[in-house]
A and B are shown apart, each in its own frame.
Chain A
Amino acid sequence: MVALGTIYFWVCALTAVAGALSVVVSKNPIRGAMGLLLLILSVAGLFLALHAQFLAAIQLIVYAGAIVVLFLFVIMLLGPAASTPNDRRGLFARAFGGGLAALCGAAAIALVASAGLAAKHPFPLADVDPSFGGVDAFGSALFADALVPFEVSGALLMVAVVGALAVARGRQGVASLTRSEREVARAATPEPDTAGGAGVYSHEIHAHEEHSS
C-alpha cells in the first residue's frame, strides 16, 4: 500500500511541475503568472510536509500575496505588449536552452543516484521534534542567531525601494541623450505614455472616459 505521504508528495510535485511548464510555455503572461501561483501553492504544500509551517505561511503571504499580484499589475499595465506573439527565440537558442536544461537535469539525476550520496544519506527523512519549523523555533533562530543578516536585509529592502523609485518615477526629457541615442529615440514607436491606458482594458477605459465626459 502506498503511504499517504507519498501520494501527497506526488500530488504537490506534479502540480508544481505543471505550473512550472505553464510558466515557460504559455504565450499569455497572465496564464504564466497563474502557473507561478500554482507552483507557489504546491511548494508551500511541500514546505508543510517538510515541517516548515511558518515558512509555508510566509511563502503564501509573500509570494502569492505580493509577488504574483505585482506581476499581474505590471502585466495589466503593459497590456498587449506583454503578450507579443513573436516571443520565442530562434531555433538555436531554444535548442541551446533545452540542451542545457536537459544536461542539468541529467546531472541532477546522476547526482542523486550516485553511490556517494545514496550511501551517506539515508533517504527517508528523519522524524523531527514537533516544535521544529514552528513560529517559536523559527523566531528564535531568526532574531537571536541570525540577527546580523536580519539587520542587513533592511539595507536590501531600502535599496530596492529607492532603486524602483529612481527607475520608474515620473518622466524625463530627452535632454540627457547623446546624439545617436536621440535618433534611436525618435525612431522608436510613438511615446506610449501619451497613448493613455494602452492596456488590455484600454477600450473599456476609453469608453468609460467618453461616457463620463
Chain B
Amino acid sequence: MSLASCLLLAAALFCVGLYGLLARRQIVAILLSIELMANAANLVFVAFGHYRGGALGQVFAVFSIALTVAEVAVGLALAMLLYRRHGDSRVELASEMKR
C-alpha cells in the first residue's frame, strides 16, 4: 500500500463520480455521484495527511464530512420540493429551463 495507489484510487472514484454527474438525470443519482467525489477528496486528504504527518489532513477531512452532511440535507430537501412541484425528480443540468 503506497501513497501513489491511494491517489490513483481517489482519482478513479472522482472520475466515476464526474461521469455519473454528467450522464445521469435523476437527482438522487446525481447527489450520490457528488458524494463519490467528496469521498475521493477525503481519501486524498487522509492519504496525504499520513504521508505528511500531523493531524491537518484528518482535521480537514472531518470538516469536509460535516460539510457534506449539511449539503445533503439541503439537497434532498430541494429534491423533495421539485418532486412535489413537477411530480418528477429529474433535472436537466445543461439545458435552458422549461418555460
Task: Using CB atoms and an 8 Å cutoff, list the residues of chain A in contact with chain B.
Answer: 5-6, 8-9, 13, 16-17, 20-21, 23-24, 29, 32-33, 35-36, 39-40, 43, 46-47, 49-52, 54-55, 58-59, 62-63, 66-67, 70-71, 74-75, 77-78, 81-84, 86-89, 93-94, 96-98, 100-102, 104-105, 108-109, 111-112, 117-118, 121, 123-126, 128, 132-133, 137-138, 141-142, 145-146, 149, 153, 156-157, 159-161, 163-164, 167-168, 180, 184-185, 188-193
Contacts and interface: CB of A to CB of B under 8 A. Distances in A.
B15 A104 contact: yes
B68 to A, nearest CB: 7
Interface of B: 1-9, 11-26, 28-29, 31-33, 35-36, 39, 42-43, 46-47, 49-51, 53, 55-56, 58-59, 61-63, 65-74, 76-81, 83-90, 94, 98-99
Contacts of B81: 167-168
A105 B6 contact: no
A129 B28 CA distance: 41
Given A49-B1, A160-B74, A168 B80 contact: yes
B87 A17 contact: no
Contact of A70 (B9, B72, B89): B72
A71 B73 CA distance: 9
Given A62-B65, A71-B72, A108-B12, 18 more contacts: A16-B9, A16-B13, A29-B26, A32-B29, A40-B39, A46-B9, A50-B47, A67-B35, A70-B76, A81-B83, A101-B18, A104-B18, A108-B15, A126-B51, A133-B58, A156-B66, A160-B69, A188-B86
Contacts of A88: 23-25
Task: Pick the 7 closest A-B CB pairs, nearest first.
Answer: A97-B22, A108-B11, A189-B87, A141-B55, A160-B70, A24-B20, A168-B77
Contacts of B46: 46-47, 50, 52, 55
Contacts of B49: 50, 52
Contact of A192 (B6, B35, B66, B87): B87
Given A8-B1, A29-B26, A39-B39, A58 B62 contact: yes
Provide the main secondary structure of the chain B interface: helix
Contact of B69 (A67, A84, A112, A191): A67
Given A125-B2, A138-B58, A184 B80 contact: no
B25 A89 contact: yes
Contacts of A70: 72-73, 76
A78 B1 contact: no
A159 B74 CA distance: 9
